[in-house]
């Protein structure tokens, strides 16, 4: 019996080694092209290095491109090579769906196709001298606001929808909430191409408040930059999507990497870089440790007042007809990417 058991164990071990060797062999020479928005560059470097140490990721190399989310999506639609995208809005992924490059069921993958979450916050000057706590404070006389360009940046789109949704949450009508967004943009003194560029502009001394991601503010502090921020009572949950391109020649490897990004160790790394986890195990850990402040007024893009990304794009960001085109023209801002 012992001899037979030893033979069985030996065979099982050889099979396991063969499977591992096969996985490594199939990965050798594979190169994945990742196109992403700007903020997650530091944490993605960590996740890629960690995955390359696993059997699935061994031998896989990466080319990486980071920039303003909408511009990145447009570049991929125009032919920039990509195996997978990590963008800042579902609107930008839908752009690739409409181009026939991403499966329309991308948001029916695990965690609705989302890799991580964050929320809209207000970055303020040291000591918050303008006493900014709420959306109403942003439109007080003399307050100067920095937010990115909504025609290039996904972050800007979240900021706009957060501003609108916050007013609706306070009982304002659609007309009143839209008027608030226009009033807010009359206080905007800089519209950079991306959230990261907007952060740099704010850090250079321009403006009293920066509307940004919680993760962007935390990342800036991790890099030694001093950013204090306030989470308004009414704020928006930012859901950050990751998706594989249908025409990828390395679709299996790309899907394996996405599964790794959503795994417990990777989600814990994302938490260290200021992202709110989508994996429920890590989310429970983060809640227990009080990693992220809770807010009773957090709302989502698919809430009825906004109606999801398809409706938001049509109403707010459509070329020539969206509300933001008219608002930017009214305040003398940018009406194109």
Angle between helices 251-261 and 264-272 (to 10 degrees): 60
Q: Where does 29-116+239-288 sit in CATH, by number?
A: 3.40.190.10
- Choices 1.10.1740.10, 3.40.190.10, 3.40.1790.10, 3.20.20.70: CATH for 118-237+294-331: 3.40.190.10
Q: Are 164 and 177 in contact (CB under 8 A)?
A: yes
Residue 24 is predicted with a pLDDT of: 41
Residue 336 is predicted with a pLDDT of: 55
The domain ranges of the chain are 29-116+239-288, 118-237+294-331
pTM beyond 0.85: the answer is yes
Q: Are 194 and 148 in contact (CB under 8 A)?
A: yes
Residue 9 is predicted with a pLDDT of: 41
Q: What is the C-alpha to C-alpha distance for residues 261 and 237, in angstroms, rounded to an integer?
A: 19
Residue 27 is predicted with a pLDDT of: 55
- pLDDT means per 10 residues, the chain with 337 residues, are 44 40 54 96 97 97 96 97 97 97 96 97 97 98 97 95 97 98 98 94 97 94 93 96 97 98 98 97 94 90 96 95 96 70
């Amino acid at each position: 019996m012992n001899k037979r058991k030893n033979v069985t164990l030996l065979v099982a071990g050889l099979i396991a080694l063969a499977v591992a060797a096969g996985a490594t062999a199939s990965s050798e020479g594979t190169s994945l092209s990742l196109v992403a928005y700007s903020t997650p560059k530091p944490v993605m470097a960590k996740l890629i290095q960690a995955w390359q140490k696993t059997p699935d990721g061994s031998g896989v190399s990466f080319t990486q491109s980071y920039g303003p989310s909408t511009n990145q999506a447009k570049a991929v639609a125009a032919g920039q090579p990509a195996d997978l995208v990590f963008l800042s809005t579902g609107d930008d992924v839908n752009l690739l769906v409409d181009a026939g490059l991403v499966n329309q069921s991308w948001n029916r993958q695990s965690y609705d196709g989302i890799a991580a979450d964050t929320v809209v916050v207000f970055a303020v000057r040291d000591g918050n001298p303008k006493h900014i706590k709420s959306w109403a404070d942003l439109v007080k006389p003399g307050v100067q606001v920095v937010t990115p360009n909504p025609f290039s940046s996904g972050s800007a789109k979240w900021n706009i929808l957060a501003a609108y949704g916050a007013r609706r949450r306070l009982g304002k009508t659609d007309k009143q909430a839209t008027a608030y967004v226009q009033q807010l943009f009359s206080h905007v003194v800089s519209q950079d191409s991306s959230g990261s560029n907007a952060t740099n502009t704010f850090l250079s001394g321009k403006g009293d408040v920066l509307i940004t991601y919680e993760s962007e503010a935390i990342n800036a502090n991790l890099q030694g930059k001093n950013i204090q921020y306030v989470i308004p009572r009414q704020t928006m949950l930012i859901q950050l999507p990751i998706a594989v391109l249908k025409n990828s020649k390395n679709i299996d490897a790309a899907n394996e990497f996405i599964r790794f990004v959503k795994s417990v160790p990777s989600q814990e790394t994302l938490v260290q870089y200021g992202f709110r986890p989508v994996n429920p195990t890590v989310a429970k850990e983060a809640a227990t440790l009080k990693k992220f402040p809770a807010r009773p007024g957090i709302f989502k893009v698919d809430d009825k007042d906004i109606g999801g990304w398809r409706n938001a794009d049509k109403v707010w960001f459509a070329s020539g007809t969206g509300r933001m085109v008219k608002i930017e023209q009214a305040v003398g801002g940018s009406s194109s990417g």
